Amino acid sequence: MRMLSTKATCNSHGQDSSYFLGWQEYEKNPYDESGNSKGIIQMGLAENQLSFDLLESWLAKNPDAAGFKRAGEFIFRELALFQDYHGLPDFKKALVEFMAETRGNKVTFNPNHLVLTAGATSANETLMFCLAEAGEAFLLPTPYYPGFDRDLKWRTGVEIVPIHCTSSNDFQITESALEEAYQEAHKRNLRVKGVLVTNPSNPLGTTMSRSELNLLINFITAKSIHLISDEIYSGTVFGSPGFVSVMEVLKDRNCDNTQVWNRVHIVYSLSKDLGLPGFRVGAIYSNDEMVVAAATKMSSFGLVSSQTQYLLSALLSDKKFTKNYLTENQKRLNQRHKMLVMGLQKAGISCLKSNAGLFCWVDMRHLLRSNTFDAEMELWKKIVYDVGLNISPGHSCHCAEPGWFRMCFANMSEKTLNLAMQRLKAFVVESTAKINNQSNYHHSSKNSKRKSIPKWVFRLSSRDCDRDRESDER
């Protein structure tokens, strides 16, 4: 008799992705300036640690909020007993106002259409449960966040069909790519229920253009399907063009009270804009009353604690603080982004021009020994194990072109980022020298009419080979 469920024993969680394997290697040998200076630097974590001082300063000036007091009186008992899965009204009001602020107050949100969830992970999965059956599909533009393979598929049974975007137009969505993905789903006998996009994009670090958003709205209107816009990075836009929410485009098109109005849904979280992933605060916003009702019931499996809601309600209601925070945080992100780009340039590496997020989409195609994903993995292993940088390979993001990598820049100090760039530059210099030596060797061998054998290959240490065998066994 089977002792465990199929779900417990299946291997569809996505944990064997190189995205997660890089984290595992980092955790075995984490960089520490004083304790482990040769360790792996974590550049695979999209975490915003640049503005904690602003949050800590606010907490120091507002001890009642952190101490669970209202007008000097303890309300701990009230918060400890509160269990309504609709959420604290004051917090939902403060959250939708903050969402509007990150979008330049060009759109407003009704708190009655907001569903609180334990992070954006829970929000996206909940929407899958609300909008699709197991075996139905959502279309996602590539490259996309590797965690979606887990978040959208593992428990729901929903399938992902990629919308293949390419570097030829900076990975923007095209009408032909949308249609090809839709037809591919039908070839696989999958009913398409919607499109999910991340705006600003993870891993590209770019905002979607208004023309792309209009294209998406036209597409879902023609196909009578849903659109989920994950706008978790909306407050991290530090350069032009500015952020345009899908809600803004819907309003400009006078889509209020139309069918498409009810088929567009937004996911949001405070994990990136405020740098609070540990607080587990996410949200679904939908104009469809049935989706809101169903998602609210499902949220009982992943509630946001009332204590967290109370604290953040006080913080987000301080409009002077939120305005200053968003401005200063975006300024710091811009400065740190420039540091990474300049460091990459000094190493002879370019990246996609970006204006948002906590990462860059880095082009290392010239460092591949061949234009294959096998070569990408060889390069990635070299960077993780020998250089000591955990970055995310494009293959884990389902990029169609080998040689692209995501590098995060907001989860470390300036000193650590500078060290990471020094390590990378040294690696590129050494690798380029080997390539040149190999080229010279070939040229010399050809002149002497002797058969040449390439000498320069990526060599894994015995420890790395053991890791590969362990990964295969898992």
Where in the sequence numbering do the catalytic residues fall? 145, 230, 232, 272
Q: Which amino acid is at 368?
A: L
Give the span between the Cα atoms of 360 and 356, in whole angstroms.
9
| Burial tier of 141 (Cβ tally within 10 Å: 0-12, 13-18, 19+) | buried
Q: What is the spatial distance between Cα 201 and Cα 67, in angstroms, rounded to a whole number?
A: 37
From the number of C-beta atoms within 10 Å of its C-beta (0-12, 13-18, 19+), residue 447 rates as: exposed
Length of the chain: 474
CA distance 424 to 69: 50
Chain-centroid distance of CA 283 in Å reads 16
Asked whether 46 and 359 are in contact (CB, 8 A), the reply is: yes
The partner residues of 350 in beta bridges, in order of sequence, read: 363
Residue type, 313: S
Q: Give the Cβ contact number of residue 292 at 10 Å.
A: 20
Q: Which pair of tokens denotes residue 359?
A: 């990462």
- The answer to whether the CB of 86 falls within 8 A of the CB of 284 is no
- Comparing C-alpha atoms, which of 337, 349, 351 is closest to residue 429? 349
Beta pairing, strands 137-141 & 192-198: parallel
What would the two tokens of residue 296 be?
Answer: 């609210």
3-state secondary structure of 41: strand
d(CA 445, CA 157): 56
Asked if 361 contacts 205 with a C-beta cutoff of 8 angstroms, the reply is yes
One DSSP character per residue, 218-258 reads HHHHHHT-EEEEE-TTGGG--SSS----HHHHHHHTT-TTS
Q: Which residue type does 374 have?
A: D
CB-based contact 161:190 (threshold 8 Å): yes
In angstroms, the CA 276 to CA 59 distance is: 14
